[in-house]
Amino acid sequence: GALPVFALPAHRESEITYFCEFTGAVAYVIAAEHGGYDYRELASKTLANVGTLRHVFVAQGDPGAFESLVEVAEEPVGYGGPRPDDLAFLQLSGGSTGVPKLIPRTHDDYIYSLWGSNEICGVDERSVYLCVLPAAHNFPLSSPGSLGALYAGGRVVLCPAPSPEVAFPLIEREGVTITGLVPPLALLWTEAAPSTAHDLGSLDVLLVGGAKFSEEAARRVRPALGCTLQ
């Protein structure tokens, strides 16, 4: 029954403090380190500044002064289960200016989004979705995204970095059929694909969103990647 807020790895003290204060957060879940940044230091500052925050759980790496998420062994609290119109989570707005706003999403609202996106994009139990963009964003989460693929009975592959050097081997190894990119990454992939040694033949659909994708760039997708552009 806990209500999550999907913060991003790039968020720092001002954003995290705002999210915690605005929502009255009682727990903060982090990785010990990621991309050369120590999130335990950020957690220490947040814990000192936010009165409601009582727990910091470290999901990956040395927990240091905090609790390891995998070692938390509490008895589950009795919970009757959610109603369709209950709040599922608070999602961050995609605006590029200021602190992101928190958008309440309900279970039925979000599942309808998954269903509709799956219908449009042809996602089913045979689909393998490569999550390249930050997983908490709406586009890679539900359009149709990771949750759409799982909702259809498909499979999700998490890509640790969006570069062709990291993504192309995963496409070949995992038989990826669909993925989503923003325009600059789509251009980078189309430039790298003709010279790659990896077999990208399983890729059926490339979704491009988040910003305008020029007609000239769009016309390069199928010759380079051999897939349908949506």
Give residue-wise pLDDT tens across range 45-62: 999 999 999 999 999 899
Q: Would you state the pLDDT for residue 178?
A: 98
How many angstroms separate the CA atoms of 108 and 124, rounded? 20
Nearest-5° Cα angle at 2, 139 to 51: 105
What token pair was written down for 207? 């979704």
Which residues of the chain have a pLDDT value below 70? 73, 95-97
Q: Is the pTM of this model over 0.85?
A: yes
State the distance between the two ends of the chain, measured CA to CA, in whole angstroms. Answer: 36
pLDDT in tens, 61-76: 999 999 999 888 677 7
The dotted CATH code for 13-81 is 3.40.50.980
Give ranges for CATH 3.40.50.980 in the chain: 13-81, 106-229
Q: Is 103 helix (H, G, I), strand (E, B) or coil?
A: strand
The dotted CATH code for 106-229 is 3.40.50.980
How many angstroms separate the CA atoms of 63 and 32, rounded? 6
How many angstroms separate the CA atoms of 228 and 22, rounded? 42
The rounded Cα 54 to chain-centroid distance in angstroms is: 26
Nearest-5° Cα angle at 134, 58 to 32: 20
CA dist 136 → 99, 114, 129, 202 (Å) = 16, 15, 15, 25
